[in-house]
């Protein structure tokens, strides 16, 4: 089966009356996903092919981001863990692999199965729509506290904080204060993500 290159938000089965074409789409689960080779995500039962491994600038930004998150967590003695490239099981038929997450508590022994406090994606030309539109919707619907979208080419960060009505944009400032687990807050300087 050829996966969709930029999937639209796919309503769950109970949200619509299935068309004839939708009836024939396979519906995979986390159990199926765990046996696949290669890099995939699973969105509402539909396999989504991941982009090839990112290039140097993307990797540099990812290393900087996770390093800054870890330093910020340690500086306030927060019981949370910054991780990169780990599967987050959102539902039995939905698994994504964000570039970075912050989860409350110790690192999971397997996939992340709890809602992360922070999710970050680093965009590339091939993932920009997926990250800025589709994943933004998915992460809001999943209750993510903070969503960061980093663009290595423009050295910019779009930052969103959860609100019931939709993600609210965080104001651009030299430093952000981000609430995390229980009463924990961290300080982040978004310009530090792009330093060489």
Query: Are 31 and 123 in the same domain?
Result: no
For residue 51, what are the CA distances in angstroms to 28, 86, 91?
20, 15, 22
Tell me: do 29 and 65 sit in the same domain. no
Overall domain count for the chain = 2
Average pLDDT of the chain to the nearest whole number? 87
E strand or H helix that includes residue 160: strand 156-161
The answer to the question of residue 77 being in a domain is: yes
155 and 130, same domain (yes or no): yes
- Final residue of a domain: which of 5, 31, 49? 49
Between CA 118 and CA 104 the distance in angstroms is 10
79/41 same-domain check: no
Are 38 and 105 in a shared domain? no
Domain end call among 49, 67, 92: 49
CB 131 within 8 A of CB 121: yes
Q: Do 22 and 94 reside in the same domain of the chain?
A: no
- Please determine, for residue 21, whether its predicted confidence score (pLDDT) is greater than 60: no
Q: Judge contact between 62 and 100, C-beta under 8 A.
A: yes
* Same domain (yes/no): 45, 98: no
Give 163's Cβ-side CA count (13 Å radius).
9
- The pLDDT tens digits for 51-88 are 776 678 999 999 999 999 999 999 999 999 999 999 99
Strands 168-169 and 46-49: unpaired
Q: How many residues does the chain have?
A: 196
Residues 134-150 pLDDT 10s: 999 999 999 999 999 99
Check whether residue 23 and residue 100 sit in a common domain.
no
* Domain encompassing residue 44: 18-49
């Amino acid at each position: 089966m050829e996966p969709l290159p930029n999937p639209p938000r796919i309503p769950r089965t109970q949200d619509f009356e299935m068309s004839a074409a939708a009836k024939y789409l396979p519906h995979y689960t986390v159990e199926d996903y765990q046996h696949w080779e290669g890099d995939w995500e699973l969105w509402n039962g539909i396999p989504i092919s991941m982009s090839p491994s990112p290039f140097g600038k993307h990797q540099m930004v990812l290393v900087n981001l996770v390093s800054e998150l870890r330093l910020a967590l340690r500086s306030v003695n927060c019981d949370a863990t910054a991780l990169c490239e780990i599967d987050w099981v959102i539902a039995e038929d939905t698994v994504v692999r964000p570039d970075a997450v912050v989860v409350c508590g110790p690192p999971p022994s397997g996939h992340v199965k709890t809602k992360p406090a922070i999710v970050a994606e680093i965009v590339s030309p091939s993932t920009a729509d997926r990250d800025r539109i589709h994943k933004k919707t998915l992460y809001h619907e999943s209750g993510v506290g903070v969503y960061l979208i980093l663009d290595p080419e423009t050295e910019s960060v779009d930052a969103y904080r959860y609100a019931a009505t939709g993600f609210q944009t965080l104001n651009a400032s030299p430093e952000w204060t981000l609430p995390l687990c229980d009463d924990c807050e961290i300080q982040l300087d978004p310009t530090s993500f792009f330093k060489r």
